[in-house]
Chains A and B, each alone.
Chain A
C-alpha cells in the first residue's frame, strides 16, 4: 500500500522552473500553481527570486534559489555572493551545486570549504547541496554527502536536471544511508510521474524537485482507484543508473564503473530473461 496522502505529497515538492528560456510569464504560472496546490517551495534561478517572492507573499510557499547552477565549478566566493544576494532578495532555501570536478579529484578540503562558504553566506536559509550523481561513482556520492554534512548543509540533493540522467532510487538510498535520518535528501531530475516519485520516496527522499509536479499529484489521485496496477512487480534494471550509463555524456571512468557494476548485479539475469 502507498500510505501517502495528497497533503503530505505536496509539502514534499519543490515546484521547479530552471530553463534558460523561461521568462516572467512562466515564473508567474509556476507561482500560481504552487499557491493553488500548496507546494513546499518554488525552485528558480536567482534572477527571479524577488519577483517570485512578491507573487508568493503570504502564501507560505518558500522561494528556493539555485546557486552555482548548473555546473558548480565556479569559485566558492562567487557562489557565496550569489547565495547572499538570493537571501537578501527573499530566498528561504538555497540549492547549490557542488564542485563536481574537485570532488572527483578527491580535493575534499576544497569541496568542504566551497560548501561552507555558501552555508555561511546563506544565514538563516537552508542549504541543499546538489551532488550531480550522474557524474559520480557510489564512493564519490558517499564522500559528497559526508562533506556536505560536515560543512553545515541541511540537505543533499541528487541532480540539477541538466546532466545525462537524474534521480535514481539506488542513489537516493545510498545518500539516505550516508546522511542518516536528520539530514534531508532531495531527489530531482527526470521525475515524470507519481510512480517515479513514489520509488524515490520509498528509497528515502524527503523532498522532490519537479517540474512535473502537477502531473505527479494528479497521479496520486489516480493511484487510489487502481492500487494493484500501480504496484505491479517491476524489473529493477528499468530504473537503475547502470542501465542509463552513456559513454558520450559521462566521464569514461564513471561509465566503466556502472557497466562493471551491471555485470555483477544479481538482477542482470532477470533483465536478460525478460528480453529473451
Chain B
C-alpha cells in the first residue's frame, strides 16, 4: 500500500486487549486519514455522544497518507469529544511525532478504557507495549519526555500530558517533541482520565511512494512555491507567527482587555519584530519544514519555545500586559504543565473583567503581568482561583452570573482576531465545528493578508461561500495530514497532486473538495446529535452590540444572521443548521 501503512489498532487500556481495525480502501479514500478518518472512526464507535471522561470514550491518534513524506508532514491529529465544549474535536500538533508514529508502523491508534494505574505506551515496529508510568505521574511534560527517552532511546518521539492533564483541566494540552502542542479542546484531560501519561513512538518503517520520480520533482517545486510566497517564504521565517501583532493591531482588530478595544497601544513591544531583537535565540522548524515559524527563546531565567502569535495575544493585549518576558514565561509554564495557551489567557481575561465589574472577587486586574506564571500553575493544579480558571471562560462567566463576558463559541475561546474587523472571520468563528477556532477557515488570509486575493473585510457579501470553501480545504489538509501554513503557498490542485504522487490514486481537486465537505458535514452531524444547533452558531453579544470608538475597525458590528442563512444554504443544511437528507445522500453519509 502506498501512502498509508495499512494498520490502525484499537487498544483497551482497562484490559490491555487490542485489535486491528479494518479500514477498507473505499473508506480511506473517502476520509483520507488524520482528522477525517479519525472523526469517521469516532462516529462509528459512538453513534450517540458519550461523556468525554467516560471509560468507554475513545481518544484517537491519527496520521495521514502524507505523514512522513513531503514537506511539513511531521504532524498528527487527536480526535475525540471535547470535555471543554462537548463538540467533536480534533487537535493537531507539529514537531516530528506524527512521522515517528507512522515510522513505527501505524496509521492510527484508538485508545479506549481506563488503565488501573498510570501507564504510557511504547509504539515500536508495529507493536504496542503498555508500560508503567507510576514514576512519571506528576512530572511536567519536559521531564516526562526526557525520562521516557532515557528508557527508549533519544530517537523516540514522545507525546505526553503534564499535571494539567492528570488533573483533568478542561483545556489540558498534549505536548510532543518538547514544546509542540495539540492544544485546543482538552485532549490532554482525556488522556489524564484514562491514566495515560504519554505515547512514545519510534521506528524505521518507510512510507511507500507510488511515483518516486514524480515525488522528487514535486518536492523541488514545493520548495520553490514555499520560498516564493511572501508569507511562507519571508514573514513566517523571519518574524514567526507574531509578525501578525502589528498587522492585526493596525487593522484595529487586535482584541484588547477581553475584546473591549481593538487597538493595543503597547502592541509594538510584544510584536514579532520585538521578539526578534530581544528574546529570540533561533528559528525552529518541525519535521521536513522549510518554513520554520517556531521561535526558540530565552528570558533571563528560562528558555523554551514561543511565544507564537496567539499566545502573545492571549497573555498580552488580551490582559492589558505588555511585558514580553512575563508573556513568554507564562507560555513556558503552559508548555511544561500542559495547557492550551489560548484558553488559558482568554479565561484569565474573562476573569479580569468579571473582577472589574464586581461579579467575582478573584483578585485579578488588567495588566498584572507579575501574576501570570502563578495563575497558570494554580490552574494546572486546580488550586486557589486556579480551580475556577480551570473551568474555561464559559463555565467561569456562567458561574459568576455574567455569561456574556466569556468570549467563546460553543465553549471554545475565540483567538486573536476581533470579528468586528473581518465579517468573514466572524462567520468562520460562529460556524466552526469545534467552537471558537481560527483554524477551521482562516478568513484573515483574504480579508487582511490578501491571500489568495484581497477581499473587503467589512462586507458580508460572498463570505458564506468562502467560509465553507476554506473549511472544506482545511478539512482536506488536516486529513492528509499537513501543516496549514502550506495553504498560503499551495492550492487544492497541488494538494491533489501530492496525494496522487504518494498514494498512486487518481485524486482530483473536485473529489477532494467533496471529501472536505463530507468531513465537515459528518462533524456537524455529530454536533447535532450532541445538541448543537443554530443557536450555538453565534458569537458573544459584545460583537453585535458594542462598537470600537477608535482604530480602523471603529463603528463596526458583526452582522451574522444574513451570512448564517446563506452559509446554511451553501452547505445544504436546513434553517436550524441540520444537514438535509439530499446533502447526506450527495456525500454518501
Binds A, one of B11-19, B86-94, B154-162, B224-232: B224-232
Q: Are B465 and A36 in contact (CB under 8 A)?
A: no
Q: Which residues 37-94 in A have Cβ within 8 Å of B in the complex?
A: none
Binds A, one of B274-282, B353-361, B486-494: B486-494
Q: Are A229 and B462 in contact (CB under 8 A)?
A: yes
Residues of chain A contacted by B461 (CB below 8 angstroms): 228, 232-233
Residues of chain A contacted by B288 (CB below 8 angstroms): none
Q: Are A212 and B224 in contact (CB under 8 A)?
A: no
Q: Are B224 and A226 in contact (CB under 8 A)?
A: no
Q: Are B452 and A29 in contact (CB under 8 A)?
A: no
- Complex Cα spacing A215 to B221, Å: 12
Q: Mark A23-39, 1 if CB is under 8 A from B, else 0.
A: 00000010011001000
Residues of chain A contacted by B469 (CB below 8 angstroms): 222, 225-226, 229
Distance in Å: Cβ of B501 to nearest Cβ of chain A: 12
The answer to whether A228 and B462 touch (CB under 8 A), given A36-B217, A214-B225, is: yes
Q: Are B462 and A226 in contact (CB under 8 A)?
A: yes
Residues of chain B contacted by A193 (CB below 8 angstroms): 450-453
Q: Are A221 and B493 in contact (CB under 8 A)?
A: yes
**Which residue from chain A places its CB closest to the CB of B424 in the assembled complex?**
A229
Q: Are B452 and A212 in contact (CB under 8 A)?
A: no
Residues of chain A contacted by B229 (CB below 8 angstroms): 215
Residues of chain B contacted by A232 (CB below 8 angstroms): 455-456, 459, 461-462
**Which residue from chain B places its CB closest to the CB of A26 in the assembled complex?**
B224
Q: Mark A209-229, 1 if CB is under 8 A from B, else 0.
A: 001101101110110011111
Residues of chain A contacted by B472 (CB below 8 angstroms): 225
Distance in Å: Cβ of A4 to nearest Cβ of chain B: 15
Residues of chain A contacted by B492 (CB below 8 angstroms): 218, 221-222, 225
Counting CB contacts under 8 A, is A170 at the interface? no
Distance in Å: Cβ of A25 to nearest Cβ of chain B: 9
Q: Which residues 184-215 in A have Cβ within 8 Å of B in the complex?
A: 192-196, 211-212, 214-215
Q: Mark A158-202, 1 if CB is under 8 A from B, else 0.
A: 000000000000000000000000000000000011111000000
Query: Which of A29, A195, A221, A235 has most B Cβ within 10 Å?
Result: A221
B452 contact from A219, A227, A228, A231, Cβ within 8 A: A219
The answer to whether A36 and B221 touch (CB under 8 A), given A228-B465, A229-B455, is: yes
The answer to whether A219 and B465 touch (CB under 8 A), given A29-B221, A29-B224, is: no
Q: Are A194 and B493 in contact (CB under 8 A)?
A: no
Residues of chain B contacted by A231 (CB below 8 angstroms): 462
- Complex Cα spacing A192 to B449, Å: 12
Residues of chain A contacted by B493 (CB below 8 angstroms): 217-218, 221
Q: Are B491 and A218 in contact (CB under 8 A)?
A: yes
**Which residue from chain A places its CB closest to the CB of B446 in the assembled complex?**
A229
Counting CB contacts under 8 A, is A238 at the interface? yes
- Complex Cα spacing A36 to B500, Å: 15
Residues of chain A contacted by B456 (CB below 8 angstroms): 232, 234-235
Counting CB contacts under 8 A, is A230 at the interface? yes
Counting CB contacts under 8 A, is B454 at the interface? yes
Q: Are A218 and B490 in contact (CB under 8 A)?
A: yes
Q: Which residues 186-205 in B have Cβ within 8 Å of A in the complex?
A: none
- Complex Cα spacing A214 to B228, Å: 10
Q: Are A219 and B453 in contact (CB under 8 A)?
A: yes
Residues of chain A contacted by B462 (CB below 8 angstroms): 226, 228-232
- Complex Cα spacing A13 to B135, Å: 63
Residues of chain A contacted by B545 (CB below 8 angstroms): none
Q: Which residues 414-470 in B have Cβ within 8 Å of A in the complex?
A: 450-456, 459, 461-463, 465-466, 468-469
B491 contact from A211, A222, A228, Cβ within 8 A: A222
The answer to whether A196 and B491 touch (CB under 8 A), given A29-B221, A32-B221, is: no
Q: Mark B482-519, 1 if CB is under 8 A from A, else 0.
A: 00000001111110000000000000010001000000
Distance in Å: Cβ of A200 to nearest Cβ of chain B: 13
Residues of chain B contacted by A215 (CB below 8 angstroms): 225, 228-229, 452, 489, 491
The answer to whether A229 and B228 touch (CB under 8 A), given A194-B453, A219-B452, A219-B491, is: no
Residues of chain B contacted by A219 (CB below 8 angstroms): 452-453, 491
Residues of chain B contacted by A230 (CB below 8 angstroms): 453, 462
- Complex Cα spacing A36 to B220, Å: 12
Q: Which residues 352-388 in B have Cβ within 8 Å of A in the complex?
A: none
- Complex Cα spacing A212 to B493, Å: 15
Distance in Å: Cβ of A121 to nearest Cβ of chain B: 33
Residues of chain A contacted by B450 (CB below 8 angstroms): 192-193
Residues of chain A contacted by B224 (CB below 8 angstroms): 29, 33
Q: Which residues 89-112 in A have Cβ within 8 Å of B in the complex?
A: none
- Complex Cα spacing A235 to B455, Å: 11
Residues of chain B contacted by A235 (CB below 8 angstroms): 456
Q: Are B220 and A29 in contact (CB under 8 A)?
A: yes
Query: Which of B453, B454, B462 has most A Cβ within 10 Å?
Result: B453
Q: Are A33 and B451 in contact (CB under 8 A)?
A: no
Q: Are A225 and B513 in contact (CB under 8 A)?
A: yes
- Complex Cα spacing A227 to B493, Å: 17
- Complex Cα spacing A31 to B507, Å: 25
Q: Are A218 and B228 in contact (CB under 8 A)?
A: no
Residues of chain B contacted by A226 (CB below 8 angstroms): 462, 465-466, 468-469
Residues of chain A contacted by B228 (CB below 8 angstroms): 211-212, 214-215
Distance in Å: Cβ of A55 to nearest Cβ of chain B: 13
Residues of chain A contacted by B223 (CB below 8 angstroms): 29
B453 contact from A195, A211, A233, Cβ within 8 A: A195
Q: Mark A222-253, 1 if CB is under 8 A from B, else 0.
A: 10011111111111001000000000000000
Residues of chain A contacted by B455 (CB below 8 angstroms): 229, 232
Distance in Å: Cβ of B63 to nearest Cβ of chain A: 25
Distance in Å: Cβ of A264 to nearest Cβ of chain B: 25
* Extra inter-chain contacts (19) besides given A214-B228, A215-B491, A222-B491, CB under 8 Å: A29-B220, A36-B217, A192-B450, A193-B450, A193-B453, A194-B453, A195-B453, A195-B454, A211-B228, A215-B225, A219-B491, A221-B492, A221-B509, A222-B492, A226-B465, A229-B462, A232-B462, A233-B461, A234-B456
Which residues of chain A have a CB within 8 Å of any CB of chain B?
A: 29, 32-33, 36, 192-196, 211-212, 214-215, 217-219, 221-222, 225-235, 238
Which residues of chain B have a CB within 8 Å of any CB of chain A?
A: 217, 220-221, 223-225, 228-229, 450-456, 459, 461-463, 465-466, 468-469, 472-473, 489-494, 509, 513
The 9 nearest A-B residue pairs measured at CB: A218-B491, A229-B462, A195-B453, A229-B466, A226-B469, A221-B493, A226-B465, A232-B462, A228-B462
